[in-house]
Amino acid sequence: MMDDYNLPFWIYTGVLTVFICGAMKKILASHLSTTPTLVAWLGATVLVERLWAFCLPAVLLLALLVLACCIYFATRTGSPPATLPAHGKAVLITGCDSGFGNATAKRLDALGFEVFATVLDLSGDGARELQRTCSPHLTLLQVDITQPQQVQQALLDTKAKLGLKGLWGLVNNAGVCVNFGDAELSLMSNFRGCMEVNFFGTLSVTKSFLPLLRHARGRIVTISSPAGDQPFPCLAAYGASKAALNLLTNTLRHELEPWGVQVSTILPSAYKTGQSSNHAYWEQQHKQLLQGMSPALLEEYGEDYVTETKELFQSHASQSNPDLSPVVDTIVQALLSPQPQASYYAGPGIGLMYFIYSYCPFSISNRFLQNLFVKKKVMPRALRKQSGYNLNLSLHNNNNNNEGKLK
């Protein structure tokens, strides 16, 4: 019966096999919810039906699929995966004044790690909270990662406390998003500011602490952003810095493999961190953006266009998840898993977003991204004038044509 299937059929089947297997691998590795995972299994059903339709009825295939699903979910939801012991392991975390860094420092301290937490301000609220709630094993270090002298001092202080013991983990968490708005409207200082902290600062810390990490055959866990992989509107400065960081992290993964140092990237969904819920912060950003625009550029775009952008970002931030535990759980997993993953998707929907971006046609992924993030309704002022001019011109031409017909 196989003679009934010609060469094009097998080529088509081969392409379908590669696509569905790749999609399933990505979905199942992304810790998604049940629905997208079920979609992946249904896709596998289509593949199996294509491959063996000439010898197995579809009902039998469905029964086999259900059995495979039961086995998979039984093993997945059974005993928790084995993890390495936390006791005696030292970890340095950057950016612990608030957000992911602050929450991670508390969790790792509670698990028994020896935590070195860097903060911008030793007298700030975040630092005082860590001193109050954590054990005496936690060490606070005042570090601005853009200042090489402070990074080197932190390295000396860490070495002094560790002695001959190496550093098991480095959590590169410190980062900044200093602007919002179209790339054309953003100041060059905003682009440089993002690069200075998110890329060069992280690079400086990583290079400085690598000897300690190599000595312990430890882990590097870097908190990045989907904006570094996907073109989120109005986040060009932040996204470009995270894209550079992602490439650096992927390169380090290959280079450090012979040393036994495992490198992971964590890609969180939207969470309430830092200044994201501070109304005064968004007003200040809005004011700075308007002041940085030339009169000609402000005329082209219009103040209402910039104001809408600010309101959309503020609304998006207000709807973000305040529960940071999915990201903290993922950091712990990356530090203690015997075989850590290269990338972790932390938060609901983030894996599905990457799947759509990676496997769907550009028109679909682009529309999905636009509807997911900033849904602009106000057009730049110049385009509104142009649209109005074109509409009036079209009406004028229609009237002239109608007059010609009447004559």
| Inter-residue contact 158 to 212 (CB < 8 Å) | yes
For the record, the structure tokens of 229 come out as 């992989």
| Inter-residue contact 347 to 320 (CB < 8 Å) | no
d(CA 77, CA 70): 10
DSSP symbol at 30: T
Q: Answer yes or no: 238 catalytic.
A: yes
d(CA 300, CA 119): 42
Burial of 167 per CB tally in 10 Å (0-12, 13-18, 19+): buried
Q: Point out the catalytic residue in the list 238, 301, 305, 357.
A: 238
Sheet (strand 262-268) strand order: 139-142, 114-119, 90-93, 169-172, 219-223, 262-268, 343-346
193's CB contacts (< 8 A; 6+ apart) are 176, 178, 179, 237
Which residues are annotated as catalytic? 238
